[in-house]
Amino acid sequence: MKSNFLLGWFLPGLSIAFLIFPACAGSAADPPVSKSLIGNVAIKGYDPVAYFKVGKALKGDKSIAFAWRGANWHFTTRENRDMFAAAPEKYAPQYGGYCAWAMSEARKAQTDPEVWKIVDGKLYLNCSRAAMEKWEKDIPGNIKKADENWRKLADKN
């Protein structure tokens, strides 16, 4: 009888739990994500997949959400949510969603999800249009500096 329970209910249920809650598989070493103080919402509720699919910053629906790295990510469609769930690193903004220009200057700053750019298949957010203009003057150099700084600053408040 025990083996029937294990085969019939427990193991399939456990498998489903790992599919539904892949965020549980993350390690304590995963870098944090910039999020709101209320609701732990990443990138102010914008859909990270929409930047890639439609080339626009679109506000997601809080009823279509996915938890990853301690933040709630909102999406415009279930398809976008599922795409993110399958490959969050592909769609999540660089530097945990912090400003790319500020990170190149060794600082963390909140972003404006309407100020963004995709470079080499990666999403970069900036805090303002002025910051974006500075960042765009040397995108490769600023990405290199920001990547180095992120390794040092990712776990710092």
In-domain check, residue 40: yes
Calculate the alpha carbon distances from 80 to 4, 64, 73, 129 in Å: 37, 9, 11, 27
- Partners of 122 in the β-ladder: 119
In-domain check, residue 2: no
Distance CA 25, CA 35 (A): 20
Looking at the structure, tell me whether residues 117 and 68 fall in a common domain. Answer: no
Q: What is the pLDDT of residues 36-87, one digit of tens each?
A: 545 689 999 999 999 999 999 999 999 999 999 889 999 999 999 999 999 9
What is the domain count for the chain? 2
**What's the one-letter identity of residue 91?**
Y
Domain encompassing residue 44: 31-92
In-domain check, residue 79: yes
Could you say which of 92, 116, 145 is where a domain stops? 92
Looking at the structure, tell me whether residues 154 and 113 fall in a common domain. Answer: yes
**Residues 8-22, mean pLDDT to the nearest whole number:** 43
**Residues 106-118, mean pLDDT to the nearest whole number:** 96
DSSP 59: B
Looking at the structure, tell me whether residues 98 and 130 fall in a common domain. Answer: yes
In-domain check, residue 26: no
Residues 49 and 123 sit within 8 Å (Cβ to Cβ): no
